[in-house]
């Protein structure tokens, strides 16, 4: 079975091959990328996802200086302009000093302890920080295994794995953002397959965590940069998902 590099299956067997070496009639893959042939919108979206992945981590001193200097904000605007998506730009600037920003990040996203949702019925958000960076937290109907397995399969299929030197769970938001960025960049260098996969990633996972996280962070006070970032994540994911849905399904991707 052959597949072309636009991802169109060349036969109707239903089988999909991942073995590029099996396609003996394909020309050798160039090692350098010709910038002129790159889909700039997809590349920019890939850049936004990569930037989001980096920002949903505690900022080190260098990153903090770039945020504080407005460089990150400017870059995000530049990237957003290039995505072709009509998404309101966020204000990715801070007034916090570095220490306070770190404390804010950890307080929101990493320091976990039980908090009551409703003391009258004993319901408890027991599993961690006020705003989870893990999709499973926003999928009460789904098992942790099912969510993570689905993502593990996806990363694995596209030749990616979690860096075991500092591993995290497969449903960790920065991983999903890195994966979305990776798929966007694959699309940028001419794989429509990857765009289709990104739409499915949105439908199955990323829109859930992005929406859930934005809703959840709205309930918190003093979210600062991260409130802005969470809202932007939700807006951007929704716009990208909608655009992809229109492209592949003629719908809104709901």
Partner 1 sequence: MNRNDTPQNDDERTEKPDREDPEIDGPAVGDPPGDPTDSDGSVSRRGFLEGVGIASLLGIGGASAVGDGLFQMDGLQTVDDPIGDYPYRDWEDLYREEWDWDSVARSTHSVNCTGSCSWNVYVKNGQVWREEQAGDYPRFDESLPDPNPRGCQKGACYTDYVNADQRIKHPLKRVGERGEGQWQRISWDEALTEIAEHVVDEVQDGRYDAISGFTPIPAMSPVSFASGSRLINLLGGVSHSFYDWYSDLPPGQPITWGTQTDNAESADWYNADYIIAWGSNINVTRIPDAKYFLEAAYEGTKRVGVFTDYSQTAIHTDEWISPDSGTDTALALGMARTIVDEELYDEAHLKEQTDMPLLVREDTGKFLRASDVPAVETDADRPEWMLLMVDADGRLREAPGSLGERDGQKDYSKSIDLDFDPRLDAERTVETTDGTVGVRTVWNELRDELAEYDPETVHEETEVGRETYQRVAREFAEAEKAKIIHGKGVNDWYHNDLGNRAIQLLVTLTGNLGEQGTGLDHYVGQEKIWTFHGWKTLSFPTGNVRGVPTTLWTYYHAGILDNTDPDTAAKIRESIDKGWMPVYPEEREDGSRPDPSTMFVWRGNYFNQAKGNVAVEEELWPKLDLVVDINFRMDSTAMYSDIVLPTASHYEKHDLSMTDMHSYVHPFTPAVEPLGESKTDWQIFRELAAKIQEVATERGVDPVQDRKFDRVIDLTTIHDDYVRDWSTDEADALAEDRAACEYILEHSEESNPADSDEQITFADTVEQPQRLLEAGDHWTSDIEEGEAYTPWKDYVQEKNPWPTVTGRQQYYIDHDWFLELGEELPTHKEGPTNTGGDYPMEYNTPHGRWSIHSTWRDSEKLLRLQRGEPVVYLHPEDAAERGIEDGDAVEVFNDLSTVELQAKIYPSSQRGTARMYFAWERFQFPDDTDFNSLVPMYMKPTQLVQYPEDTGEHLYFFPNYWGPTGVNSDVRVDVRKKGGDGE
> Do residues 245 and 253 make contact, with C-beta atoms less than 8 angstroms apart?
yes
For the bound state, the minimum distance from the C-beta of residue 40 to partner 1, rounded and expressed in Å, comes to 6
Using rule CB under 8 A, residue 215 touches partner 1: no
- Four-CA torsion 32, 37, 247, 53, nearest 10 degrees: 50
List the one residue from 90, 94, 134, 207 that touches partner 1 (CB under 8 A): 134
Piece of 122-130, 209-217, 228-236, 237-245 that binds partner 1 (CB under 8 A): 122-130
Copy the structure tokens of residue 55: 């920002």
Q: CB-hemisphere CA count at 13 Å for 143?
A: 3
Q: Does residue number 179 form part of the binding site for partner 1 (CB under 8 A)?
A: yes
Query: What string marks each residue from 71 to 110 as x (binds partner 1 by CB under 8 A) or -?
Result: xx-xx--xx--x----------------xx-xx--xx--x
Give the footprint of partner 1 on residues 26-55 (CB under 8 A). Answer: 26, 29-35, 38, 40, 43-44, 46-47, 50-51, 53-55
State in angstroms the smallest separation of the CB of 155 from partner 1.
6
Distance in angstroms (rounded) separating the CA atoms of residues 51 and 58: 13
What distance in Å separates the CA atoms of residue 224 and residue 94, rounded to the nearest whole number? 7
CB of 63 to partner 1, least distance (A): 7
Tell me the window of 63-71, 216-224, 227-235, 239-247 that interacts with partner 1 (CB under 8 A): 63-71
The single residue listed with the structure tokens 């500092």 is 166
Q: Does 210 bind partner 1 (CB under 8 A)?
A: no
227 binds partner 1 (CB under 8 A): no
State CA 166 to chain mean position distance.
19
**Would you mind telling me the total number of residues written for the chain in this entry?**
254
Looking at the Cβ atoms of 74 and 252, the one nearer to partner 1 is 74
Q: Are 184 and 42 in contact (CB under 8 A)?
A: yes
217 in contact with partner 1 (CB under 8 A) = no
DSSP state for residue 108 in the 8-state scheme? I
Q: Which stretch binds partner 1 (CB under 8 A): 132-140, 213-221, 225-233, 235-243?
A: 132-140
Question: Per rule CB under 8 A, is residue 12 in the interface with partner 1?
Answer: no
Check residue 58 for interaction with partner 1 (CB under 8 A): yes
Candidates 88, 153, 215, 249: give the one binding partner 1 (CB under 8 A): 153
- In the set 11, 27, 141, 165, which binds partner 1 (CB under 8 A)? 165
Q: Cβ of 189: how many Cβ atoms within 10 Å?
A: 17
Indicate the helix (H) or strand (E) that contains 40. helix 40-55
Rounded to whole angstroms, how far apart are CA atoms 54 and 56?
6
């Amino acid at each position: 079975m052959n597949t072309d590099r636009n991802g169109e299956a060349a036969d109707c067997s239903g089988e999909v091959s991942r073995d590029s070496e099996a396609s003996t009639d394909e020309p050798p893959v160039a090692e350098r990328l010709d910038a002129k042939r790159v889909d700039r919108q997809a590349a920019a979206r890939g850049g936004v996802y990569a930037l989001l992945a980096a920002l949903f981590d505690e900022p080190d001193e260098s990153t903090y200086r770039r945020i504080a200097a407005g460089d990150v904000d400017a870059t995000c605007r530049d990237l957003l302009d290039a995505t072709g998506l009509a998404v309101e730009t966020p204000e990715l600037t801070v007034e916090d000093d570095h220490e306070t920003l770190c404390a804010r990040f950890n307080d929101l996203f990493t320091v976990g302890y039980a908090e009551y949702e409703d003391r009258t019925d004993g319901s408890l958000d027991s599993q961690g920080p006020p705003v989870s960076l893990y999709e499973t937290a926003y999928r009460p109907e789904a098992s942790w295994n099912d969510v993570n397995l689905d993502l593990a399969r996806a990363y694995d299929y596209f030749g990616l794995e979690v860096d075991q030197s500092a591993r995290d769970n497969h449903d960790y938001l920065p991983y999903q953002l890195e994966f979305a960025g990776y798929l966007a960049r694959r699309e940028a260098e001419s794989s429509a397959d990857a765009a289709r996969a990104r739409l499915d990633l949105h439908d199955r996972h990323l829109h859930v965590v992005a929406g859930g996280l934005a809703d959840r962070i709205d309930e918190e006070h003093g979210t600062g940069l991260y409130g802005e970032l969470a809202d932007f994540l939700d807006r951007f994911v929704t716009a990208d998902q909608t655009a992809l849905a229109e492209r592949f399904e003629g719908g809104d991707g709901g």
